[in-house]
Amino acid sequence: MSFEHPSRDEIDLSAVLHALSDPQRRGIVAELAASEVPRPCGSFAPTITKSTRTHHFRVLREAGLVEQWKEGTSKMSRLRRDDVDARFPGLLDSVLESVPVR
């Protein structure tokens, strides 16, 4: 299974801001920012349903905030920090300052 990701130049500010407008998605981004390694999607937000978590990751991926790939039976995710910082310097730092890491 292959996932579509926007290129660095295609990352759109409106899509990024929409993705970051949801507190669950901001929490996911904060956890990825704090992690030095990619993480399986199932390790995030255990109190929400799998379908809701899948929706949140799809929004984040389509906005260009995360990269996802299959690794065995897991869907792995990592923050596209370099790409987002190149497009919108300081945006992630500003947003993440107010998000407590779980």
| DSSP conformation letters of 12-30 | -HHHHHHHHTSHHHHHHHH
Residues of the chain falling short of pLDDT 70 = 1, 100-102
Q: Where are the domains of the chain?
A: 8-96
Give pLDDT, residue 102.
Answer: 56
- pTM for the structure as a whole: 0.92
**CA–CA distance, 69 with 77 (Å, rounded to integer):** 7
Say how far apart CA 33 and CA 51 lie, in whole Å. Answer: 23
**Half-sphere exposure for 73 (CA within 13 Å, toward CB):** 1
Q: How far apart are CA 59 and CA 66, in angstroms?
A: 9
| Fold entry, domain 8-96 | Arc Repressor Mutant, subunit A (1.10.10)
The percentage of the chain sitting over the pLDDT mark of 70, rounded to a whole number, equals: 95
* Residue 99: per-residue pLDDT: 75
pLDDT per residue as tens digits for the range 30-58? 999 999 999 998 888 778 888 999 999 99
